Amino acid sequence: MNNAVPPAARKVTLTDVARLAGVSVATASKALNGRKQVRAETRARVVEAAEQLSFSPNELARSLLADRTGTVGLLTNDLEGRFSIPILMGAEDAFGADSVAVFLCDARGDAIREKHHVQALLSRRVDGLIVVGSRTDPRPSLGRELPVPVVYAYAPSEDAEDLSIVVDNVGAGRSAIDHLVSTGRTRIAHITGDPTYGASQERARGALAALGDHGLEPAGEVRFGSWTESWGRAAAAMVLGQHPEVDAILCGSDQVARGVMDALREHGRTVPDDVAVMGFDNWEIFTNGARPTLTSVDMNFERLGRVAAHRLFAAIDGEPRSGIEALDTRVVIRGSTVPG
């Protein structure tokens, strides 16, 4: 009947344990940490005392000596965002395994606030930082002179000496086209989102390159707009008007794809038989709600977070890297490109 959560973990210190066990603090410390310099019987007494008092060592004091705190800072810029969260989960996952705690900060895209947070994290002596961007476009470096390693995730640092882990958007565009072509499509249009986003440009570049490799011409220019369903509807209507022969539409995001599918249905085209549709991001609330369910390119954000965390570990352990590491993506095939 011992409580898992101690009644008074507050003030109980190693000194108390030592006193109860009738030994010195030094011995108590060694006993609890498995050092070899202590007799089995003594160790048992100390362990029992510690349990009885539900002793929990003060990590602050421990960190002060070790100058390793076992904490890292996770600096994000859009906590509400579609991208930060899975990355954050992956990182939390990779860290959480061992005894690392994660400080979460949201700078909300404000450079001032970001500097402030970095300072606060440094004063808490984090062992490292992961900086998560909200767009794939390069972002300013935190600087080379930080006392701890930094890994940039999703949005790369402008400084090539920093280490950045990003998604291969060009490759994602290529693999999307490859998939569509492999299902026999040849008259492919591309409707995407905000042209100021690096992601839309890179995906389009990859898609066009792959079309070229297959000896195909795109069905009309790439259509940039916004990352919304309504743009998808509008653009799809335009494509159907100008290129009625179209047999596949690659969409810059799942939301755009939803709009496109709506418009296709209203124009009497069936998916995937008349026209195949495909999105990016594999946001399941969109892909699985669609009729038919939506094929999409998964950006593997969680893996990105995990990789970033591992690279940070390596850097903390003295194995720094630099440059941009692009992770590949994966096509998740559903009903919108291959029949039922």
Partner DNA sequence: AAAGTGGCCGAAAAGGTTTTCTGCGACGGT
Partner DNA sequence: ACCGTCGCAGAAAACCTTTTCGGCCACTTT
Query: Does the footprint of DNA cover residue 146 (CB under 7 A)?
Result: no
Among positions 288-307, residues that touch a copy of itself (CB under 8 A) are 288-289, 291
Asked if 69 and 63 count as a contact pair (C-beta separation under 8 A), the reply is: yes
Query: Does the footprint of DNA cover residue 111 (CB under 7 A)?
Result: no
Query: Does the footprint of a copy of itself cover residue 63 (CB under 8 A)?
Result: yes
Report the distance separating Cα 142 and Cα 144, nearest Å. Answer: 7
Asked if 72 and 129 count as a contact pair (C-beta separation under 8 A), the reply is: yes
DSSP letter for each residue of 152-185: EESSPBS-TTSEEEEE-HHHHHHHHHHHHHHTT-
Query: Does the footprint of DNA cover residue 67 (CB under 7 A)?
Result: yes
Binds 104: which of a copy of itself, DNA, none (CB < 5-8 Å by kind): a copy of itself
Exactly one of 16, 42, 47, 102 binds a copy of itself (CB under 8 A); that residue is 102
Q: Quick one: tokens of 253?
A: 């995001």
How many residues contact a copy of itself, by CB under 8 A? 60
CA atoms within 13 A on the CB side of 213: 13
Q: First CA to last CA across the chain, in angstroms?
A: 56
Among positions 151-180, residues that touch DNA (CB under 7 A) are none
DSSP state of 223: B
Contacts 24+ apart (CB under 8 A), 317-325: 320/149, 320/163, 321/163, 322/160, 322/161, 322/162, 322/163, 323/160, 323/163, 323/164, 324/156, 324/160, 324/164, 324/165, 324/166, 325/163, 325/164, 325/165, 325/166
How many residues contact DNA, by CB under 7 A? 30
Residue found by looking up tokens 């996952």 in the block:
93
Query: Does the footprint of a copy of itself cover residue 255 (CB under 8 A)?
Result: yes
Q: Quick one: tokens of 270?
A: 């069936």
Min dist. Cβ of residue 30 to a copy of itself (A): 19
Asked if 226 and 252 count as a contact pair (C-beta separation under 8 A), the reply is: no
Query: Does the footprint of DNA cover residue 119 (CB under 7 A)?
Result: no
Exactly one of 2, 3, 37, 99 binds DNA (CB under 7 A); that residue is 37
Binds 207: which of DNA, a copy of itself, none (CB < 5-8 Å by kind): none
Query: Does the footprint of DNA cover residue 57 (CB under 7 A)?
Result: yes
Query: Does the footprint of a copy of itself cover residue 121 (CB under 8 A)?
Result: yes
Query: Does the footprint of a copy of itself cover residue 202 (CB under 8 A)?
Result: no
Query: Does the footprint of DNA cover residue 273 (CB under 7 A)?
Result: no
Strand partners, 250: 190, 278
x/- mask, a copy of itself, residues 261-290, rule CB under 8 A, reads -x----------------------x--xx-
Of 15 and 270, the one with the shorter C-beta distance to DNA is: 15
Query: Does the footprint of DNA cover residue 25 (CB under 7 A)?
Result: yes
Residues of this chain that interact with DNA (CB under 7 A) are 11, 13-15, 22-27, 29-30, 32-33, 35, 37-42, 55, 57-58, 61-62, 64-67
